[in-house]
Structures are given as C-alpha cells and as structure tokens.
Amino acid sequence: MSVMLDPELSAVDARSYFVRGRNALLTRANLGPLYLDYYLHLMQAKIQHEAVLDGMLKDALAGLVLHLSSRPQDEGCAWTINVANPLVNFFVTGSTRPGRVTGRLFTEEVRNSGTNLFIAQTTRPNQKPRQSMIDFLGDDMLAAIETFYTQSEQRLTRIFRLPDEDFVQISAEPDCDEEWLNALTVEELPTLDQREHLTPLEQRVYVFECGCTMERLFPVLARMPEVDIDYVFAEGPATIHCPRCGLVYRPSREMFEEWRVQQ
C-alpha cells in the first residue's frame, strides 16, 4: 500500500544520471525546500541548535537524500553519526517509498568513544537488515559519508556542496574512471553536463517528514511496567519525545487507555 506525502510539505526533486564514458552515477538535488520544512519542524518542536551543529545535521540530511536517490526504491536506511569533538550524535533516517527523511541531534548523555563513528543500517522487504560501522576523521559530514562509501560500500564517492543549497554526489560504478572522479573540483560541477554525456535515469521526490503520531509512539509506552505507566501519568498528560525527530507529544491517560482498548 502506497503512502501519500503531505501535499503541504516542500518537495525536493532528486535526479540521477549515468555519466557515460566515465562509468559513474551522478545524483543531484537542491535541498532548499526541504530545509524550509526542517526549520518549521524545529520551531514546532521548540528545538534550537548551535549554528555549527545545525549545519552538520543539514549536511547529513543532504547526504541521506543523495544516497537514497541512488539506491533501490524499496530500500530504507538509518545513519547514526557519533562525533567526538564537538561531542554530539546525529541521527538521520529515510526511505524512497514514501520519499521521507528526518533526523535530529543529541548533545546530552552522548558516549565519547574517543573516535568518530558512522553506523549505517539498511533495510529492504523480505531481507535481513544490514549494518556496518566505520570510523572517520574530522567533523565534516559530507566527508564522513564519502568515507562510509569507501570503507563500507567499497566504491569511490565524491559529494559536492554548491551555492544555493545545491548538492551533487558522484559514485563509481564498475570500470569507473576513478582518476577523473578523484580530480573533479567543485568549480567544474556547474558546467559538467557541457563536458560529459549525462544520461537521465530517474527523478525521485523527498520531503522532511518523520511520519510519527501519538498512536505510533503508544506501543513504546505500553511495553513499560504498569507502575511506570502510572508514574508517567501521575501529574497529568505524559511527555513523549519521538526518538526520530524530537517532536513532543503530551497525551492524556484517557487517550492512552482508549488506544489500549482498541488494540
């Protein structure tokens, strides 16, 4: 069953191309519309980020969109990126069916392993989830994703940030001209289609949306011991944070009990 995207959300068109003669896959997208809904979400959730961390999370979301648009349509993925300095966890997740991405960052109770870790989980219907973990240097999210591709996906990938929230990812396919790919500069990207033969492959649409609801979070509460549930509602409505996007829900005990009866 297909899931309809909220028509009020700002959609991002992600387009993929095959670079003939170079044997590379290029995906590109302008993330401006998605970032608009990301900031509206932060306002709704009353979340404020430091500017540096905010930029890092936005880059992780951009990389996720480019990654998803280059993968099979029924694939979903979740990345947990732990950075030691500054000490922070980034979590981004998304899918193509429907085309949704979301994410958040954590600065409290973050484990410091002394190194930066990139943990990726990939899911597909009727297949076991795949998980990989690599370490990386620095705090550049796009460089971290490139390292993930090199070490885990085992193929050379370059990601470029262009002006006006434009992003381009180019990944090596079998028999890729890796010397050409390694030598590419961001200055060459705007006119790349004038020098290379780009064959259009596909267009996909993504929005910033978690898809969470109170009803989807109630099962987490229902798994708690009854004495803990009583404590959660002791002073009135409960406070439930979505672990994927940080949105706060405050259901009453009556709403929760009505949901339990329906189950």
Residues 109-158: pLDDT tens digits?
999 989 999 999 999 999 999 999 999 999 999 999 999 999 999 999 99
pLDDT recorded at residue 3: 58
One-letter identity of residue 201: L
One-letter identity of residue 33: P
Residue 1 has pLDDT above 90, yes or no: no
CATH superfamily of the domain spanning 12-208: Hsp33 domain (3.55.30.10)
Could you say which architecture CATH assigns to the domain 214-262? Answer: Alpha-Beta Complex (3.90)
Query: In degrees rounded to 5, what are phi and psi of residue 6?
Result: -65, 120
Task: Name the region of 37 (left: φ>0; alpha: ψ -120 to 50; beta: rest).
Answer: alpha
pLDDT recorded at residue 130: 95
One-letter identity of residue 13: D
pLDDT recorded at residue 51: 97
pLDDT recorded at residue 37: 96
Model confidence over 8-47: pLDDT tens digits? 788 999 999 999 999 999 999 999 999 999 999 999 999 9
pLDDT recorded at residue 113: 86
pLDDT recorded at residue 34: 97
Strands (E), 43-151: 76-83, 88-95, 100-106, 116-123, 130-136
In whole angstroms, give the CA distance from residue 190 to residue 192: 6
Where along the chain do its domains lie? 12-208, 214-262
Model confidence over 175-229: pLDDT tens digits? 999 999 999 999 999 999 999 999 999 999 999 999 899 899 999 899 999 999 9
- Do 214-262 and 12-208 fall under one CATH topology? no
